[in-house]
């Protein structure tokens, strides 16, 4: 358990906790997968507002001993992750990361990442990965953001996710000659993705067009050893 100011982060401990996590996900995502078996394989992080006694953020965490288990991940349903099968150290998938629409305080994301940091260090994980979602499926609304990703933040070739989903936007190829408006791109980039990029994260060269969830999402990876020292220090300061 981690308490900072008015917020507390902890792992779900009961069926009632898991139900609360699912309700928050249903509020934040248009559709929800019916996958109790996958939920059962994960740990579920909860961030609660102690003043209002309500859940304000959460995510699920799948711990993998190494890349040979990458096919068990939720992201593997949408991306060809065969390149990551060669990653020989522990990994953590961060999935369904969501923040209550009425909980905009930056401390919510800060304490969530502090709690994830504790888990990563306790498990000796060397890679975080997951999907970062843009609201809606109209890629034209995010061209500057995608152009920035293609220019600066693509996955290393040795780990790069391949195309698997039936509908994708190949932004790295399509926008390779676009000069992005960086201010506009940053404004349109999801907060979770900004957090990953601040840690030295990288993304797939394409976005999955998910009509069921009404999102565009990119595979996102962070190699723990590549996180900038100043960022590591800040995360550990929150984790305590």
pLDDT in tens, 113-137: 999 999 999 999 999 999 999 999 9
CB 79 within 8 A of CB 99: no
Asked: is 2-239 a CATH 3.40.630.30 domain? The reply is: yes
pTM of the model: 0.93
Q: What confidence tens digit (pLDDT) does each residue in 82-114 have?
A: 999 999 999 999 998 988 888 767 788 889 999
Query: In the chain, where are the structural domains located?
Result: 2-239
Q: Which residues pair with 99 in a beta bridge?
A: 57
The four Cα atoms 199, 133, 86, 69 give a dihedral, to 10 degrees, of 120
DSSP line for 35-54: -HHHHHHSEEEEEEETTTTE
């Amino acid at each position: 358990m981690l308490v900072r100011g008015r917020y507390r982060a902890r792992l779900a401990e009961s069926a009632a906790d898991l139900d609360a996590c699912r309700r928050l996900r249903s509020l934040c995502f248009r559709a929800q997968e019916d996958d109790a078996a996958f939920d059962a394989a994960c740990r579920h992080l909860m961030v609660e507002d102690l003043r209002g006694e309500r859940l304000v953020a959460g995510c699920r965490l799948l711990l993998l001993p190494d890349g040979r288990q990458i096919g068990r991940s939720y992201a593997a349903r949408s991306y060809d992750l065969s390149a990551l099968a060669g990653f020989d150290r522990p990994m953590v998938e961060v999935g369904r990361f969501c923040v209550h629409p009425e909980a905009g305080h930056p401390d919510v994301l800060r304490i969530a990442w502090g709690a994830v940091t504790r888990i990563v260090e306790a498990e000796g994980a060397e890679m975080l990965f997951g999907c970062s979602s843009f609201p809606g499926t109209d890629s034209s609304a995010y061209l500057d953001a995608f152009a920035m990703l293609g220019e600066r933040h693509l996955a290393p070739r040795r780990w790069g996710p391949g195309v698997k989903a039936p509908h994708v936007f190949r932004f790295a190829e399509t926008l390779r000659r676009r000069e992005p408006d960086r201010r506009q791109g940053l404004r349109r980039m999801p907060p979770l993705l900004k957090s990953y990029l601040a840690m030295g994260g990288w993304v797939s060269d394409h976005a999955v067009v998910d009509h069921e969830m009404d999102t565009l999402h990119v595979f996102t990876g962070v190699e723990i050893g590549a996180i900038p020292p100043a960022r590591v220090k800040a995360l550990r300061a929150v984790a305590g």
